[in-house]
Amino acid sequence: MTSDESLDPLIDRIYAAALNPETWHQVIAEVGRRIGATSGTSLWFGPGGTELIRAEIWNIDPEALSAYQQHYLSFCPRYRASHGLAVGAVYDDRAARSAGTSRSREYYNFMDRYELGLARIALAEKRPDLTIGMNFYNRAADGFSGTGAQVLQQLAPHFRRACNMTQALADVTDRAALGDAWFQSRTASMTLDAQGNVLRMNSAAQRICSLCDGISTSRGRLVAASRADCARLDAEIARALGKSAGKSSGSGDFLLIARPSGLPAFAVSVVPIGQAGSRERAIVTIAPTVPELSSGTLQRAFGLTPSEASIAVSLCKGRSPEEIALDRGVSLHTIRSQIKTIHTRLDVRSQTELVSRLTAASLGVRL
C-alpha cells in the first residue's frame, strides 16, 4: 500500500472477513464499489478445481452462479491454473477473450450472457488442493479505470494473506488471539520503482524501518540486516520486477527476515503492480508482529502436550532454558529434553527457528 491511508478501513474489513468468512460477500461488494466494478465474486475451489467449496457474490444474478456451477465449474479453474497465474497478483482478462479456442469462446459467451464482462482477477491463493479467486466484473468494454485497477493491485496482497489466515485458522479455536495480531500488522507496506528504489511507504512501514532491526532503507533501497537475508530479499524484489529467472514473479510467498534484537522475524512479501504509466512497479508488505499464542492454541495447532506448549510459549517470549527450568522448579536436563521433543515435532533445530516457525504458521506462511 502507498502512503495514502484511506484504504486502511477497507483493509481492516478484509482481515475481519478472514476471521468471519460469512462476511466475505460484504467485503467483495465494498471493494467492487471502490474500484468501479459492477459485480464481483469470491470463489474457493477444492482439489483439481472440480468442487466449489465456497462462493460469495455481489450484484450477480443467482441464476448465473447456478449455471456456472453446473456447466463451467470443471473448465474455469483448470483453465486459470494452466496459465501460470502468480499468487497475489492482479490480471487483465480481456486479452483472453481473443484466445480463439472453442472453450474460451464458450466461456466468454456465457459471461456475456449474464452481463459479467470479466475484466480483472485478484488471485488470492493457489495450491494443489485450493484455488481462491477474487473476481471483479465490469460491463464496460474498457474494463476498470486506472485508479480502480491500482487500488485492486494494492489490495491483492492483503486478500492473499487474509485467505491464508482463514485456512490457517480452520482448526484453531483461538481465532481472536491470532486475529488481533493480524490487525496490528496489516498495513505496513511500501512501493518500489522499476529499479527497486523505494518510492512511497506508509506510516507503519516508516516505523518498522526506523527501528533498523532487520528491515531498513539504505540509499533509497530496502535492505535486510544480515547478508544472507539481504540477498534473499534482493532476489525476491528482482523476481517481482521481472529481472530474474526462477519462480513466477510476484509469487506472493513470504520471506522471513531475522531481527538482530532477537525479536520474532518479519514476514515480507513482494508483489508486482505493473500499472502502465506508473512509476510504482511493486508493493512490499511487512508483517511485524507475532500473535500472542496461548498454550491451548499450540496444543491444538501443533499436537504439543500442555507442558511442551507452555515451554514453547516461554521460548517465543525470549526465555532461556535455564530461566524456564528455574520458573518451573525442574532440572535443566528435563527442560532441554522437552525442548528437543518440541523441535522434533515442529521440525526445527534451534530456538530462533522455533520462533520463526510459529510466526510463519500464525501468518499462513509456508516455509
**Range name among 26-30, 34-38, 66-70, 245-249 with the lowest pLDDT average:** 245-249
Question: What is the end-to-end Cα distance of the chain in Å, rounded?
Answer: 25
Is pLDDT at 274 greater than 50 in this prediction? Answer: yes
Is pLDDT at 365 greater than 80 in this prediction? Answer: no
| 101, β-bridge pairs | none
pLDDT score at 324: 93
Is pLDDT at 168 greater than 90 in this prediction? Answer: no
- What cell numbers appear for 94 in the block? 480481456
Which residue in 277, 282, 273, 242 sits closest to 91, CA to CA? 273
pLDDT score at 243: 76
Q: Tell me how far apart the alpha carbons of residues 135 and 132 are, in angstroms, rounded to a whole number.
A: 9
Query: Binning pLDDT at 50, 70 and 90, where does residue 290 land?
Result: low
Listed by start position, the domains of the chain span 5-168, 188-287, 295-362
Architecture in CATH for domain 295-362 = Orthogonal Bundle (1.10)
pLDDT score at 297: 67
- Strand pairing category for 39-45 and 254-257: unpaired
Is pLDDT at 224 greater than 60 in this prediction? Answer: yes
Is pLDDT at 311 greater than 70 in this prediction? Answer: yes
Q: Tell me how far apart the alpha carbons of residues 133 and 237 are, in angstroms, rounded to a whole number.
A: 24
- 146 contacts: CB under 8 Å, gap ≥ 6: 275, 276, 277
pLDDT score at 174: 47
- Tell me the mean pLDDT in the region 284-288: 76
Establish whether domains 5-168 and 188-287 are of one fold: yes
Q: Which residue has the higher pLDDT, 249 or 32?
A: 32
pLDDT score at 145: 77
Q: What is the DSSP string of 97-155?
A: GGS--HHHHHHHHHHHHTT--EEEEEEEEEETTEEEEEEEE-SSTT-S-HHHHHHHHHH
Q: Which residue has the higher pLDDT, 267 or 332?
A: 332
Is pLDDT at 142 greater than 70 in this prediction? Answer: no
Q: What is the pLDDT of residues 333-342, one digit of tens each?
A: 999 999 999 9
pLDDT score at 325: 94
pLDDT score at 251: 42
pLDDT score at 82: 41
Query: Binning pLDDT at 50, 70 and 90, where does residue 144 land?
Result: confident
- Tell me the mean pLDDT in the region 272-287: 71
Is pLDDT at 360 greater than 70 in this prediction? Answer: no
Is pLDDT at 319 greater than 90 in this prediction? Answer: no
Is pLDDT at 367 greater than 50 in this prediction? Answer: no
Q: What average pLDDT does the structure give for the chain?
A: 75
Q: Which residue has the higher pLDDT, 215 or 96?
A: 215
Helices (H), the chain: 8-19, 24-35, 62-67, 76-81, 102-113, 146-168, 175-185, 203-211, 227-240, 295-302, 306-316, 321-328, 332-346, 351-362
pLDDT score at 230: 93
Q: What is the pLDDT of residues 55-90, one digit of tens each?
A: 888 888 778 777 776 666 655 554 454 456 666 677
Are 35 and 135 a contacting pair, CB within 8 Å? no
| Element containing residue 54 per DSSP (H, E) | strand 52-58
Fold of the 5-168 domain: Beta-Lactamase (3.30.450)
pLDDT score at 2: 39
CATH of domain 188-287: 3.30.450.20
Is pLDDT at 357 greater than 90 in this prediction? Answer: no
**Range name among 56-65, 218-227, 337-346, 354-363 with the lowest pLDDT average:** 354-363
Is pLDDT at 215 greater than 70 in this prediction? Answer: yes
Which residue in 264, 269, 263 sits closest to 358, CA to CA? 264
Sign of the four-CA dihedral 115, 121, 127, 128: positive
Is pLDDT at 265 greater than 60 in this prediction? Answer: yes
